Amino acid sequence: MSNSNFKAEFISGMRSAIPVILGFVPVGIAFAIMARQAGFTVAQTCGMSLSVFAGASQMMAVGMYEQGASIIAMVLATFLLNFRHLIMSTCVFERIKHSTLTQKLIAGFGVTDESFALFTTEKEERCTIAYFIGMNCVMYTSWNVGTFIGAIASDFLPTIITASLGIALYAMFIGLLVPNLTNNFRLGLLVILTAICNTVLSKLMPGSWALIISTLVCAFIGVFTVDLDGKKEEPADE
């Protein structure tokens, strides 16, 4: 690929990701405020976003840290939550087979739910490594800009505002979950089962371990019972 083509596709990818800024910046601010309230310094908060770049996992890790969870528990929980990225990265790499290892490593770091959705629904001829990296640059920058704003502003915002932003974590999870539940009854039942297991286990062990075990057990059950495409089985023709 020539430098001019790479630049054009890179800019095209950046443009396609502009709408995502409206979501990434506010959630980045909410994460930073949560982290500062949990005792993180500005440097630690910004450093986490720069090195991890996974909103849901960062928020969960901050919440577990605030509850006194061990490092091992936080690492395991983060691994489980981000395991879907392994599958998403595989799908992305199928579309950029001719890229170098370095390019794939850069692309892999930037895989998010949003970049995956945009890239895999794009026309095949536009799915190049330059296009994907361009998208990632916009998303990565907006997430870290939001984090920086939140980390600095947390010292000046009224308590009522900073406290209310804590709901961002739950809103983000619900936003990811509800669209799938509307077309998949079994997935809904599995979510309820996970919540029940977590509630029961929380009475018997630390909450962080209860979350990990209930997630593992119910995910294993889901492998055999849930159709992720949400399609009902058609009766066989006689």
Provide the whole-model pTM: 0.70
pLDDT at position 14 is 94
**pLDDT > 70? residue 233:** no
Q: Helices 71-82 and 84-95 meet at what angle, rounded to 10? A: 40
Only one residue has tokens 């959705």, namely 117
**pLDDT > 80? residue 87:** no
- Pick the more confident residue, 73 or 45: 45
**By mean pLDDT, which of 57-61, 103-107, 113-117, 144-148 is the weakest?**
113-117
Identify the three-state secondary structure at position 19. helix
**pLDDT > 50? residue 236:** no
Listed residue (4, 1, 16) closest to 137, CA to CA: 16
pLDDT at position 74 is 84
Portion of the chain with pLDDT greater than 90, in percent: 22
**pLDDT > 60? residue 217:** yes
Alpha carbons within 13 angstroms on the beta-carbon side of residue 20 total 23
Q: Helices 55-66 and 71-82 meet at what angle, rounded to 10? A: 160
Q: What span, in angstroms and rounded, lies between the C-alpha atoms of 42 and 35?
A: 9
Convert the pLDDT of each residue in 91-134 to its tens digit: 888 888 788 889 888 998 999 878 887 887 777 778 899 999 99
CB 96 within 8 A of CB 115: no
**pLDDT > 80? residue 27:** yes
- Pick the more confident residue, 32 or 237: 32
With cut-offs at 50, 70 and 90, classify the pLDDT of residue 18: confident
Mean pLDDT of the chain: 81
